[in-house]
């Protein structure tokens, strides 16, 4: 298990001995599949933000995110970061703010969301938008 906050700031390293592709800025999530969909990174000559699909990731460890190849990054998916996002139940009740997210670094599968009002199991996640993370009341 790893936390999103542990991955932020790690270098993204290709398999060749060349330098890092950039630094992780955040992890994008697909709520429908309950998994990380992309690694967002900032780097390169112009220091622009780009994204690599999760299936390009070979390993995530405490020192780096290792990718399978230095392939061109995807177009950047819409930015809906979980960290700091307001949490609402499907009935509109507040459930705090997202502090961190636990995930399996091998598969990208989300395990739990930690909010200011407690832990929310990943199977209770319903949607993520500009305004909030929506969860099933439990």
pLDDT, one tens digit per residue, over 79-124 is 678 999 999 999 999 999 999 999 999 999 999 999 999 999 999 9
Percent of the chain with pLDDT over 70: 89
CATH 2.30.30.240 location in the chain: 2-67, 86-135
The number of beta carbons lying within 10 Å of the beta carbon of residue 14 is: 17
Q: Domain 2-67: what homologous superfamily? A: PRC-barrel domain (2.30.30.240)
Q: Which of the four pLDDT bands, split at 50, 70 and 90, describes residue 75?
A: low
pTM for the structure as a whole: 0.89
When pLDDT is averaged across residues 43-48 and rounded to a whole number, the result is 68
Q: β-strand 2-3 against 133-135: which pairing, if any?
A: unpaired
User: What CATH code would you report for 86-135?
Assistant: 2.30.30.240
How many CA atoms lie within 13 Å of 45's alpha carbon, on the beta-carbon side?
0
76 in helix, strand or coil?
coil
Which residues are 53's β-sheet partners?
38
Six-digit token string for 39: 């690694």
């Amino acid at each position: 298990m790893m936390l999103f906050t542990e991955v932020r700031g790690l270098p993204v390293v290709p398999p060749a001995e060349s330098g890092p592709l950039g630094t992780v800025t955040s992890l994008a999530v697909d709520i429908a599949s309950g998994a990380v969909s992309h690694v967002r990174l900032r780097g390169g000559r112009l220091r622009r933000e780009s994204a690599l699909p999760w299936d390009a990731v070979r390993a995530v460890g405490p020192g780096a995110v290792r990718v399978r190849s230095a392939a061109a990054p995807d177009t950047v998916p819409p930015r809906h970061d979980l960290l700091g996002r307001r949490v609402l139940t499907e009935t509109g009740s507040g459930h705090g703010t997202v502090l961190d997210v636990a995930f399996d670094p091998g598969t990208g599968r989300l395990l739990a969301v930690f909010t200011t009002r407690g832990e929310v199991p990943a199977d209770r996640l319903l949607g993520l938008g500009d305004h909030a993370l929506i969860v099933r009341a439990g």
